[in-house]
Structure 1
Amino acid sequence: MNTILHLGLGSFHRAHQAVYVHQLRQLGDTGWSIAAGNLRPDMLDTIATLQAQGGAYTLETVTPQGERSYTRITSIDRVLPYQPDLAPLVAVAADPATRIISFTVTEAGYYLDAANQLDWASFPDLRADLAAVKAGQAGHTLYGSLVTLLRARMAASAGPVTLMNCDNLRHNGERSRSGLLQFIDALGDGPLMAWVDSHTSSPNGMVDRITPRPTPEVAERVKAATGVDDPAALMGESFIQWVIEDNFIAGRPEWEKVGVDMVDSVDAFEEAKIRLLNATHSCIAWAGTLVGYHYIHEGTQHAVIRRFAYDYVTDDVIPVLHTPEKPCPINLPQYRDVVLDRFSNPALADTNQRVAMDGFSKIPGFIAPTLRERLARGETVDSVAMLPALFLAYLQRWHAGDIAYTYQDQAMKPEVAQAICEAPDPVAAFCADATLWGELAGDARLVDAVRRARERVGRFVTAHTGVSATAAA
Structure 2
Amino acid sequence: MTAASPSVWLHIGAGSFHRAHQAWYLHRLLQQDGPRWEIALSNIRDDAVPLLNALTQQNGEYVLETVTPTGERQYEKITSIKHIVPWDAGLTAMVARGADAATKVIAFTVTESGYYLDSDHRLDPRHPDITADLQGEARTLYGALRRVLQARMQAHGQPVTLLNCDNLRHNGERFREGFLAFLRLCHDDALLAWVTEQTTSPNTMVDRITPRPTADIAPRVLEATGFADSAPVMGEAFIQWVIEDNFAAGRPALEKVGVTLVDSVLPWEEAKIRILNASHSCIAWAGTLVGQDFIHQSTQTQAIKEMAWEYVTQDVIPSLSPSPLELEAYRDVVLARFANPYIRDTNQRVAADGLSKIPGFITPTLTECYARGETPRATAVLPALFFLFLQRWHRGELPYVYQDGALEAESWHRIMASPDALARFAADEALFGPLAHDTAFATLLAETVATLDEWAKVPQPVNE
TM-score, normalisation: structure 1: 0.95
The alignment partner of 2:378 has SS state of: coil
In the alignment, structure 1 residue 131 sits paired with structure 2 residue 135:
yes
Q: Which digits, 9 at most, give the CA deviation of each residue in 1:407-432, with x for residues without a partner? A: 01111221232233222232211101
Maintained 8 Å contact 2:301/2:460: no
Regions of 4+ moved over 2 Å: 462-466
Separation in 1, partners of 2:97, 2:459: 54
Separation in 2, partners of 1:314, 1:67: 31
Deviation at 1:116, TM superposition (A): 2.3
Q: Which digits, 9 at most, give the CA deviation of each residue in 1:73-101, with x for residues without a partner? A: 00000011101111111111111111000
Partner of 2:22: 17
In the alignment, structure 1 residue 378 sits paired with structure 2 residue 377:
no
Separation in 2, partners of 1:260, 1:33: 17
Q: What aligned pairs does 1:389-468 form with structure 2 within 5 A after superposition?
A: 389-464=384-459
The alignment partner of 1:162 has SS state of: strand
The alignment partner of 1:409 has SS state of: coil
Separation in 1, partners of 2:139, 2:8: 22
Maintained 8 Å contact 2:208/2:240: yes
Maintained 8 Å contact 2:132/2:139: no
Deviation at 1:118, TM superposition (A): 1.3
Maintained 8 Å contact 1:293/1:299: yes
Partner of 1:115: 120
Separation in 2, partners of 1:334, 1:150: 43
Maintained 8 Å contact 2:168/2:360: yes
Q: What aligned pairs does 1:306-321 form with structure 2 within 5 A after superposition?
A: 306-321=305-320
The alignment partner of 1:119 has SS state of: coil
Partner of 1:471: none
Separation in 2, partners of 1:387, 1:393: 10
In the alignment, structure 1 residue 354 sits paired with structure 2 residue 359:
no
Partner of 1:206: 205
Q: Which digits, 9 at most, give the CA deviation of each residue in 1:216-249, with x for residues without a partner? A: 1011111111111101001000000000000001
Separation in 1, partners of 2:92, 2:310: 50
Q: Which digits, 9 at most, give the CA deviation of each residue in 1:302-325, with x for residues without a partner? A: 000000000000001001100xxx
Partner of 1:342: 337
Deviation at 1:336, TM superposition (A): 0.4
Query: Identity over the aligned pairs, expressed in percent?
Result: 55
Deviation at 1:465, TM superposition (A): 6.0
Q: Which digits, 9 at most, give the CA deviation of each residue in 1:20-70, with x for residues without a partner? A: 000001113321000011011012221111001000000000001110000
Deviation at 1:437, TM superposition (A): 1.2
Maintained 8 Å contact 1:129/1:144: yes
In the alignment, structure 1 residue 289 sits paired with structure 2 residue 288:
yes
Partner of 1:55: 60
Deviation at 1:328, TM superposition (A): 0.3
Separation in 2, partners of 1:7, 1:140: 13
Letter in 1 for 2:50: D
Match of 2:92 among 78, 87, 93: 87
Partner of 1:224: 223
Deviation at 1:464, TM superposition (A): 3.4
The alignment partner of 2:135 has SS state of: helix
Maintained 8 Å contact 1:25/1:75: yes
In the alignment, structure 1 residue 154 sits paired with structure 2 residue 153:
yes
Maintained 8 Å contact 1:428/1:442: no
Larger CA deviation: 25-34 vs 153-162:
25-34
Partner of 1:305: 304
Separation in 2, partners of 1:383, 1:416: 29
Separation in 2, partners of 1:396, 1:109: 24
Partner of 2:35: 30
The alignment partner of 2:274 has SS state of: helix
Deviation at 1:158, TM superposition (A): 4.3
Letter in 1 for 2:13: G
The alignment partner of 1:77 has SS state of: strand
The alignment partner of 2:379 has SS state of: coil
Q: Which digits, 9 at most, give the CA deviation of each residue in 1:162-182, with x for residues without a partner? A: 000000010000110111101
Maintained 8 Å contact 1:95/1:158: no
Q: What aligned pairs does 1:229-308 form with structure 2 within 5 A after superposition?
A: 229-308=228-307
Partner of 1:100: 105
Partner of 2:3: none
How many equivalent pairs are there? Answer: 456
Larger CA deviation: 421-430 vs 221-230:
421-430
Letter in 2 for 1:354: R
Deviation at 1:455, TM superposition (A): 1.8
Letter in 1 for 2:198: H
Separation in 2, partners of 1:385, 1:165: 29
Separation in 2, partners of 1:246, 1:300: 36
TM-score, normalisation: structure 2: 0.97
Letter in 2 for 1:236: G
Mark the runs of 5 or more structure 2 residues left unpaired by the alignment.
1-5
The alignment partner of 1:410 has SS state of: coil
Separation in 2, partners of 1:160, 1:97: 11
Separation in 1, partners of 2:458, 2:401: 25
Letter in 2 for 1:124: P
The alignment partner of 2:392 has SS state of: helix
Maintained 8 Å contact 2:161/2:247: yes
Separation in 2, partners of 1:248, 1:316: 35
Maintained 8 Å contact 2:129/2:139: no
Q: Which digits, 9 at most, give the CA deviation of each residue in 1:133-154, with x for residues without a partner? A: 5xxxxx2310010000000000
Separation in 1, partners of 2:184, 2:94: 23
Separation in 2, partners of 1:25, 1:292: 44
Separation in 2, partners of 1:144, 1:44: 19
Separation in 1, partners of 2:411, 2:427: 11
